[in-house]
A and B are shown apart, each in its own frame.
Chain A
Amino acid sequence: MKSVELIDVTKTYGNGSVIIKNLNLSIQSGEFFVLVGPSGCGKSTILRMIAGLEGMTSGTLLIGGKPANLLPPSKRSLSMVFQNYALYPHLTARENIIFGLKAHRIGKDIVEKRLREAAEMLNLAPCLDRKPRQLSGGQRQRIALARSIVSEAPICLMDEPLSNLDAKLRARMRSEIRRIQRKIGTTMIYVTHDQIEAMTMGDRMAVLHDGTVQQIGRPIDVYNHPDHTFVASFIGSPQMNLMPAVYDDVQKILRIGASWTITRELPIAGGEVILGIRPENIHPATHPASAQNKAIHFSANIIDTEILGNETQLTFLLDHQTWTAKWEGQWTIPDQSAQEMVILPENLLVFDRKDGHILYDPKRSQKVEEVTV
């Protein structure tokens, strides 16, 4: 297995538009690395540059520690799964899987063995002799996976491979891809716009926005400690509540909107900030958290409730701002009724309103000082 490293990579198109700005990524050997971001953030371009399907404007690509900028795609020891699977419609599933092996004139016994193993791993045996158009979306997806597996390339690139599947199948394929990656240990670089895939599949992920990396880290760390309001709003569903506030560092008061104030000392300079709190950290008044004396109590008018099985999503208005809360259990609350709620100050994140960077994250002990400068 091989590592992949991108150093100071920039990509601009002929008309001068910058797609990727000074990208630095270091993907370890055998790692499942997810590139996540909204459409148009350049994540597919990064993948295509690693594959060699697109050139870089500047920067260095190292594959297995060796410079690979000038290598043709076939010499980069990687395989790729495309969003539309790129199956050959005139070939059977079997021929599709061994297409590349045949081009390399690999021995028949080895081809058969690899095909059998891949087909077994993905339960493909019954549909090997059918053409792609006779197969379901999920089966086509597996053929594309099998094609990448039989190549035994140490690096596998995937470009939104699950986006054409229905929700149920997508959930199953998520764990299946993860299972296969663990089993054969390839270095995986996985592009997606779906934050659930990023959260559940990756060892680490990079959140991209407008061609720059916003944050790199383990999914849980990115979720718990977003560096930026963009990451905070992009990762997590429903998204984090973010609202403008002003911190008065003389009176030690945080003013949210016109009427709501929280008296609390924060280790930051006064000024305009953005306050963030995850929906699941807003609790009902009956929650044990409300017994703590530092708990912040407030009341709000519910405008909508959605019961999603074992949890309930509430939307409420606070100072003309729409907030979302996620409560465990099934709550039937009439619309427009006032509801007592409680939050704990350690769950409040404070971001700079100008550039969106994190100013204060109570649960993250280190790094906070350097950010507050």
Chain B
Amino acid sequence: MVMEQTEIKEGADFPATNAREQPINRLFGTQPAAWLYLLPSLILFAVFVFYPLFRTLQLSFFLSDSKGLPTVFVGFNNYARLLSSPEFLASAGSTLLFVLYTVPTTIILALILALLANEKLKGIGFFRTIFSSSMGISVAASSVVWLFIFNPSAGILNRLLSLLGVTGINWLADPNWALFSVSLTTIWLHLGFTFLILLGGLQNIDEHLYENAQIEGCGYWYRLRRITLPMLSPTLFFVITVSMIDAFQTFGQIDLLTKGGPGNATNLIVYSIYQKAFINFDFGMASAEVIVLFLCILLITALQFKFGERKVHYQ
């Protein structure tokens, strides 16, 4: 409405510019003012997303010097080296495992908490705050706290185990446990955000649907299966997609807890990219790995939209 008015006013005030506007119209459509409104976010996206993405793609075809400047064009050589390296394959494997450990567990736990916190009980606000509180804690701070929890001699986890008479576990240093420990931290970290989104989704469901089910005598599980989950499916779909992408991009807790070790047990893709680029200064190879990760996430998300969205009921 406002945009149309502006257009008419301009046309009326400056009839001479009408002729000049023709090619502009062809380029920007009939409402050039719309582009003006899009401009701020376009600029931000261009500077912080599109340009770095383009540079990364370019870099992935080059060998680079220690400052990360491209030196020799090598075509797909970086990709070939990457895909044949056992270190990358191990890294991709542990990333997949990590996603499998964290995403379903986080979502199921958050869903249970959200269902509990959605009940109308006295003082439920307190629990809603507690359950969502991990959202307000930074990756760094919580990683440090978990370092203490995981500490083999002084940590609370091993103390509890020793109370039960079980020998302590070297959580972060044992190759069999390290990925599990990092996953545990990640689940805890993401629980708050996922909980909050799911609770919001639950609260959007029309109360009358439940009242009708109550009168018709449907039990709790029938209501959960036939009303709550289908009505929550758009939110669940969003949460699954975002959590997957998030899990693939995990970096902070790895850097602080294990630095990719022991061995390469927790060397997830983003951490291995970091090591390649900023420790080994192999920017070309790191860029190639970034592009591969990007394409993988793109593919998985596209598959999710293609097959997962069928089960989603938008209102």
Most B C-beta atoms less than 10 A away, residue of A52, A99, A133:
A99
A84-B313 contact, Cβ under 8 Å, with A51-B215, A53-B214, A74-B215 = no
Instruction: With CB as the reference atom, state the residue of chain A lying closest to B217.
Output: A74
Contact indicator A103/B217 (Cβ below 8 Å)? yes
Is B246 an interface residue, CB under 8 A from the partner? no
Is A183 an interface residue, CB under 8 A from the partner? no
Number of interface residues of B (CB under 8 A): 20
Contact digits for A58-102, partner B, Cβ 8 Å, 1 yes 0 no: 000000000000001111101110101010111100000001100
CA–CA, A151 to B214, complex, Å?
A: 13
Most B C-beta atoms less than 10 A away, residue of A51, A100, A147:
A100
Contact of B211 among A86, A88, A89, A100 (CB under 8 A): A86
**Cβ–Cβ < 8 Å partners of B233 in chain A:** 90
**Cβ–Cβ < 8 Å partners of A86 in chain B:** 206, 208-209, 211-212
- Selected interface stretch from B178-186, B194-202, B222-230, B271-279: B222-230
CA–CA, A42 to B234, complex, Å?
A: 36
Is B13 an interface residue, CB under 8 A from the partner? no
Contact of B227 among A80, A88, A147 (CB under 8 A): A88
Instruction: With CB as the reference atom, state the residue of chain A lying closest to B216.
Output: A100
Number of interface residues of A (CB under 8 A): 25
Contact digits for B300-315, partner A, Cβ 8 Å, 1 yes 0 no: 0000000000000101
Instruction: With CB as the reference atom, state the residue of chain A lying closest to B219.
Output: A103
Output the least CB separation between A104 and chain B (Å): 6
A99-B208 contact, Cβ under 8 Å, with A104-B217, A133-B315 = no
Contact indicator B216/A151 (Cβ below 8 Å)? yes
CA–CA, A80 to B214, complex, Å?
A: 10
* Interface class of chain B by DSSP: helix
CA–CA, A52 to B214, complex, Å?
A: 9
A103-B216 contact, Cβ under 8 Å, with A86-B206, A88-B209, A133-B315 = yes
Most A C-beta atoms less than 10 A away, residue of B214, B219, B231, B233:
B214
Instruction: With CB as the reference atom, state the residue of chain A lying closest to B230.
Output: A90
Output the least CB separation between A154 and chain B (Å): 13
A and B contact pairs by CB, cutoff 8 A, 24 listed: A51-B211, A53-B215, A73-B211, A73-B215, A74-B217, A79-B215, A79-B216, A80-B211, A80-B212, A80-B215, A84-B206, A86-B211, A88-B209, A88-B230, A90-B230, A90-B233, A99-B226, A100-B218, A103-B213, A103-B216, A103-B222, A103-B226, A104-B216, A151-B216
- Interface contacts beyond A75-B217, A100-B215: sample of 13 additional A-B pairs, CB < 8 Å, sorted by A: A74-B215, A74-B217, A82-B212, A86-B206, A86-B208, A86-B209, A86-B211, A88-B227, A89-B313, A90-B231, A90-B233, A103-B216, A103-B226
Q: Which residues of B contact A (CB under 8 A)?
A: 206, 208-209, 211-219, 222, 226-227, 230-231, 233, 313, 315
Q: Which residues of A contact B (CB under 8 A)?
A: 51-53, 72-76, 78-80, 82, 84, 86, 88-91, 99-100, 103-104, 133, 147, 151
